[in-house]
Amino acid sequence: MRVRLALACVLLVLARPEAQEPPRTWRLDFYQTGGPGIEAYSFDRLVIEPLAWPDRPTADLEPSPAGNYRFDVIDGTGRVIFARGYDPAFAEWVTTAEVRRVRRTFHDSLRFPAPPGKAEVVIHKRNQNGGYDEVWRHAIDPADPFIDRSTPPRQQAIEVERHGEPQTKVDVLLLGDGYTAAECGVKFPADARRMASALFAQEPFTSRRTDFNIWGICPPAAESGISRPSTGVYRRSPVGASYDAFGSERYILTFENRAMRDLAAWAPYEYLTILTNGAIYGGGGLYNVLSTVAVDNDFADYLFVHEFAHHFAGLADEYYTSPVAYEPPARIVEPWPANVTTETDPSRLKWRDLLTPGVPIPTPWPKQEFETLSKEIQARRARLRAENRPEAEMTQLFREQRETETRLLAAAEHARKVGLFQGANYDAQAFYRPEIDCLMFARNEVPFCRVCQRALAGVIDRHSTGLRP
Ligand SMILES: [Zn+2]
Q: What is the H or E stretch that residue 122 is in?
A: strand 119-126
468 confidence band (pLDDT: 50, 70, 90): low
pLDDT at site 7? 45
Question: 384-390: long-range contacts at Cβ-Cβ below 8 A with a sequence spacing of 24 or more?
Answer: 385/249, 388/231
Tell me how far the alpha carbon of residue 336 is from its chain's centroid.
15
Q: How many Å lie between the centroid of ligand 1 and the Cα of residue 448?
A: 5
The dotted CATH code for 157-314 is 3.40.390.10
pLDDT at site 67? 93
pLDDT at site 329? 75
3-state secondary structure of 7: helix
Q: How many Å lie between the centroid of ligand 1 and the Cα of residue 418?
A: 10
Distances (CA, A) of 410 to 16, 340, 373: 47, 21, 15
3-state secondary structure of 198: helix
Q: How many Å lie between the centroid of ligand 1 and the Cα of residue 451?
A: 6
- Please determine, for residue 345, whether its predicted confidence score (pLDDT) is greater than 70: yes
Q: How many Å lie between the centroid of ligand 1 and the Cα of residue 449?
A: 4
Q: How many Å lie between the centroid of ligand 1 and the Cα of residue 353?
A: 15
Domain covering 17-140, topology: Immunoglobulin-like (2.60.40)
In the chain, domain spans: 17-140, 157-314, 346-447
pLDDT at site 19? 55
pTM: 0.93
Q: How many Å lie between the centroid of ligand 1 and the Cα of residue 414?
A: 15
- Please determine, for residue 160, whether its predicted confidence score (pLDDT) is greater than 80: yes
Q: How many Å lie between the centroid of ligand 1 and the Cα of residue 336?
A: 14
Neighbour count for residue 265 (Cβ, 10 Å): 24
Q: How many Å lie between the centroid of ligand 1 and the Cα of residue 355?
A: 13
14 confidence band (pLDDT: 50, 70, 90): very low
Amino acid occupying residue 355: L
Angle at 308 between CA 164 and CA 29, to 5 degrees: 80
Q: How many Å lie between the centroid of ligand 1 and the Cα of residue 447?
A: 9
Mean pLDDT, the chain, rounded, equals 93
Residues with CB under 5 A from ligand 1 (ion): 339, 438, 440, 449, 452
**Mean pLDDT computed over 99-122:** 97
Tell me how far the alpha carbon of residue 131 is from its chain's centroid.
22
User: What residues contact residue 354 under an 8 Å CB cut-off, 6+ apart?
Assistant: 418, 434, 450, 451, 454
Query: What whole-number percentage of the chain has pLDDT above 70?
Result: 95
Q: How many Å lie between the centroid of ligand 1 and the Cα of residue 205?
A: 15
Burial class, 227, CB count within 10 angstroms (exposed 0-12 / middle 13-18 / buried 19+):
buried
64 confidence band (pLDDT: 50, 70, 90): confident
Q: How many Å lie between the centroid of ligand 1 and the Cα of residue 172?
A: 22
Asked if the domains at 17-140 and 157-314 fall in one CATH topology, the answer is no
Would you state the torsion angle of the CA atoms of residues 297, 300, 306, 312, taken in this order, to the nearest 10 degrees?
120
Q: How many Å lie between the centroid of ligand 1 and the Cα of residue 139?
A: 40
Angle at 156 between CA 150 and CA 162, to 5 degrees: 115
Per residue in 378-406, pLDDT (tens digit) is 999 999 999 999 999 999 999 999 999 99
Give the torsion sign (CA, 399, 400, 401, 403).
Answer: positive
> Which range scores top for mean pLDDT: 129-133, 322-326, 333-337, 432-436?
432-436
Q: How many Å lie between the centroid of ligand 1 and the Cα of residue 317?
A: 8
User: What residues contact residue 38 under an 8 Å CB cut-off, 6+ apart?
Assistant: 103
Say which DSSP state 174 is in: E
